[in-house]
Structure 1
């Protein structure tokens, strides 16, 4: 069920067209609460739009002399590809050298002739300070939509905390030494299920094309979907958008982090503390899709509906202030999960009533009604249950994406 965009959101979008297109921001509040500088934005000839993204966190320790070949899937096609490299959680500078982007053929092998070098202010290498983020220069040529892109890099100098995304649901590759320019898989034998340093890819698509960013937890991250098949619900949504002729939203950014919460830091920064970096700073994002809260309910003793609703309101206000519209998704059932209890279920129902009926979101996607069992609405429908009674399987992910009103993602577009 969708609602017409609020006048204030339309007005903000009209007034901030340039800022939305370029992904302007006011900086992030990291886990320690110390404001950090805003990430640099692409200096492109035309509006840039995010075609892929993941949310960064601290994923271990790093070392120099390593190579990474990271597989990501584009949502919207276009020219002038740029990659965003993040050292947001690092405590030491990181040097990136010999960064390339090409199309994957199979495994770690690339389509011959597609692996192109990326530069940074014309240089072949760049050193990113602790806490920093950098964009590459635009790459000549066009990148197709719905293709697996391989971003390869050599990191000659690094140490300390490693920035990346742990739960990729996608096989990428690591190596020792500099093999980023090679298109064969010969030196790329070590597999990994995480992404490192890379947290966004942007392109310049056709005029007035926008993107949606899904702010969420492990369900949005794709846990219990099939690895290497791009069956997270934002992936299914991206396919629907590519096939649609009724919307100019084509880019999809997945800002899900496993175990993430709206109000409290945990394995990653809370939604409140990461929304600027992971969502609002991304170029071309027109709409924020907020589907989060079950971890606050089930994992935080004393969590209340009033507290979670107050957090939603703050996120809505921040998104509206940045000229974005906000789609709210109801929290899905989780009875059978070890942390379920009647008190938490009561909070979930209270919060879902707010999402559906308050009118404070620009549109609503009722994922609860899509996934819940007709025999017991506190449980996931058995046909959609990934096995742990919390995370949907591939069919459930598709059903969620199919329930999104695509017109709601064009909220405020003129």
Structure 2
């Protein structure tokens, strides 16, 4: 499957200034709120930037909004930095999508924003951008500092779109908002955002320029990486808990964390999003500053598609080879227990055990994270430990996700490649 690489826009600093206070960032009185001419898409990466990803989502085809509505996506940063740039993606779309307004602000409560925090995004210095199907664009840098571990609200007004949107189906882990018809991207009031949604639309990544030594860590997987079953709006996925641990380190040892898990995703076959094999370059290797990827894929291949251990091993070997060819460290994570779920059978359990044995013992990964050993019940290792058992006996609960993150040695997140 051919996945187009990122098409970025040349950065052009806008004239406004952001400053921090205890409540977040705020615009000064000279902020531009006027309209501008449409932007055009131009190839090439922004020159002279030390960019890392502070937030990301694995994108897939989805439906929901319509032309004339405004989407307010709520996201949570990992590492902090300056020069915020956002990637808007139409890689799964069936027609060009046109945004004639894009803003980023600080959430207050629900869809409401902190007064004075909403800032216009530009693309090549223009406020309107058209993204062809199969492409993505990068906004201009927004002056000012984005703090670590903070929520942002990214609002886009849809001037034109096709039948299929590019987005991320979150399955009740984060609330975003859809407006009544009209351009409400500038609104700091929540009044027009009447429909809570559990998806992100068109927003694929956020990047910043941190201190020079910082890089990007990508969490790549399926629903367990996506945080299925974790508490809504709490940022209790295991990559979130890992990001908190990383942020407690001195700045040179920090990493931006990009969670590109997709619920229902498979290693070998397209379905809920492109397969891991098809999307690895786009979702991992194209992330700015990528140094390390944690790979946890295969559970859906076993439970929904009867994949064999040999097939899964061949698929993961392909991803190991691609990561190493780019000088990226790759850590293999074992598959967690399945008993009690619809995926469980004696045959599937045998495949899971064989696959996990290869992950642990092959020596082909730069390090191994044994999520199975962390979460299983020692008295019955085919099941989750009761204290960690979550949605459908297939996913951890919040405590289980935290235990997974806490079990990752931070020293394993870098290697000599």
| TM-score (structure 2 length as normaliser) | 0.88
Counterpart Cα distance in 1 of 2:208 and 2:416: 22
Within a 5 Å distance, the mapping from 1:160-199 to structure 2 comes to 160-167=163-170, 169-175=173-179, 176-199=181-204
Counterpart Cα distance in 2 of 1:102 and 1:34: 35
Question: Cα distance, 1:185 vs. partner?
Answer: 1.4
The answer to whether 1:411 aligns with 2:415 is yes
Counterpart Cα distance in 2 of 1:112 and 1:410: 41
Question: Cα distance, 1:44 vs. partner?
Answer: 4.9
Counterpart Cα distance in 2 of 1:148 and 1:233: 17
Match 2:62 to one of 59, 63, 75: 59
Deviations 1:226-264 (A, max 9, x none): 011000110000101001239624211111111111111
Aligned twin of 1:220: 225
Deviations 1:349-378 (A, max 9, x none): 111111111110001111000000011011
- Structure 1 pair 399/325, CA: closer, same or farther in 2 (3 Å)? same
Counterpart Cα distance in 2 of 1:45 and 1:320: 25
The answer to whether 1:300 aligns with 2:305 is yes
Within a 5 Å distance, the mapping from 1:263-412 to structure 2 comes to 263-301=268-306, 303-412=307-416
CA contact (8 A) 1:62 1:158 kept: no
CA contact (8 A) 1:61 1:159 kept: no
Q: Decide which moves more: 381-390 or 138-147.
A: 381-390
Aligned twin of 1:5: none
> The residue matched to 1:201 in structure 2 has which SS?
strand
CA contact (8 A) 2:96 2:132 kept: yes
Question: Cα distance, 1:411 vs. partner?
Answer: 2.2
Counterpart Cα distance in 1 of 2:390 and 2:412: 28
Aligned twin of 1:77: 80
Counterpart Cα distance in 2 of 1:44 and 1:226: 40
Question: Cα distance, 1:339 vs. partner?
Answer: 2.3
Question: Cα distance, 1:216 vs. partner?
Answer: 0.6
Counterpart Cα distance in 2 of 1:211 and 1:199: 15
Question: Cα distance, 1:46 vs. partner?
Answer: 2.5
The answer to whether 1:235 aligns with 2:203 is no
The answer to whether 1:128 aligns with 2:131 is yes
Question: Cα distance, 1:311 vs. partner?
Answer: 0.5
Aligned twin of 2:26: none
Counterpart Cα distance in 1 of 2:64 and 2:336: 35
Aligned twin of 2:122: 119
Counterpart Cα distance in 1 of 2:303 and 2:129: 43
Match 2:264 to one of 252, 259, 262: 259
Aligned twin of 1:28: none
> The residue matched to 1:215 in structure 2 has which SS?
strand
Question: Cα distance, 1:38 vs. partner?
Answer: 4.2
Question: Cα distance, 1:208 vs. partner?
Answer: 1.4
Match 2:148 to one of 145, 148, 158: 145
Counterpart Cα distance in 2 of 1:339 and 1:318: 30
CA contact (8 A) 1:83 1:135 kept: yes
Counterpart Cα distance in 1 of 2:364 and 2:81: 34
What RMSD over aligned residues (CA atoms) do the two structures have, in Å? 1.5
Deviations 1:89-140 (A, max 9, x none): 1110000121111111111111222211110001111000011100000000
Aligned twin of 1:244: 249
> The residue matched to 2:402 in structure 1 has which SS?
helix
CA contact (8 A) 1:215 1:256 kept: yes
CA contact (8 A) 2:308 2:351 kept: yes
Aligned twin of 2:4: 36
Counterpart Cα distance in 2 of 1:35 and 1:106: 37
